[in-house]
Structure 1
Amino acid sequence: MKILLVEDDPILGESLKEYLEANDIEVHWIQDDREIEYIYNFEQYDVIVLDLILKYKKGEEILRDLRLKGIKNPILILTAKSDIKDKEYCFNLGADDYLTKPFNPKELLLRIKALTKRKHIDEIIKIGDVEINLNSKTIKKAGEEIKISKTAWDLLYYLLKNKGSVVETERILNYVWGDKPVGDEIVRTYIKELRKILPKDAIKTYKGRGYKLD
């Protein structure tokens, strides 16, 4: 799981990053809210955690702009604003959850996990004789556990999240490899790795476009 944290308080931001990463959540922390303008791939994030009181722009404006751009990621507001009018305003703008400061970091963790469950797929998925457990990040084929690399797992997870739809190669590169300078060939390499595990024709290639997991 990977989240985008927009929080300008250096102490709070650092402590949240450490806590969430200790609970197996990758955190991209933005302290300068202007940096959000340079993110072109929001699909890599499972949840966006957004403060409202920021240095350069109001969190409400960022929330509104994200929704106007068609960004559909679950957005959790994290703020000292506790008035019901502030909550109503954010929910009307498209927020999915709202947590006021001070708070217990465990509650934030639970809320993030709840949002990802709404967005994501079943915890255990079966494809032929292959059983994929998203919670424990394990794969079993005919009852025997199969080990794969983290990169292969990230690719499999993204295909599962978009199962039944053609996923463009560029989107896969952005989600799995982010800003790393890699090309289409590396995607083909890891697709081959997954095909050795999954049933025949589970992953279909759409030449010049991408891949689809049925």
Structure 2
Amino acid sequence: MKILLCEPDRELRKEIVDQLNKYRLKINIKDIGDEKKIFEEEVSSLNLFSLFVLNLSDPEDTKILNFIRRSGATVPILLILEKDVSPHIFRKIYYLSYDDVIRKDFYPQEIIFHIYKLCDIWNDDVFFISKNVYFDYKNSIFVYNDSDIHLGRKEALLLKFLFVKNSHVVSFDEIIYYVYDNEVIKEERIRSLVRQLRAKLPTSIIQTVKGEGYRIKN
């Protein structure tokens, strides 16, 4: 797949590209620092991109957005906003045809998950930690380099839910609803399931958030 990344911050561009290549098989990324270069692209070439990630000097100006859409490209557009952007802008860009918005400052890992979701890379079945470490939900297997670790049904459900929520905390109530179908159970049963899962996984990826629940470590 091919992504066009327009971000004036050279260091951030590099971090995003590095993270994309770290978390997934190689992705073809065209990164540019000057948004005017988008207009230099051949109109026919815009259809070759699977995603546009744009940090525009004026997010309310629709020239670039319209240029992309008029080319026939219907793929998602992720808009990056500077941290000092005026709050009034959100109302206007809400009605423009951007597919997602992320505001600085953010960790490179955070925007990666936005990109993966927009491109449907996750597909709700395979969740990558690195190229050789990933969770195959459909087959209930955690792959760690050359080792396949088989998980039980509830272990797989819990791990999938944690991945879907990314780095957000998953509460006990949410686990009861998603993993146990709202069955009346004690929290100790959930803790026991987490212990089982941690014992099987060769890498420490599940973090306990005291008094709240669990999440996948960044």
TM-score bin, normalised by smaller chain = 0.3 to 0.5
For normalisation by structure 2, the TM-score amounts to: 0.47
For normalisation by structure 1, the TM-score amounts to: 0.48
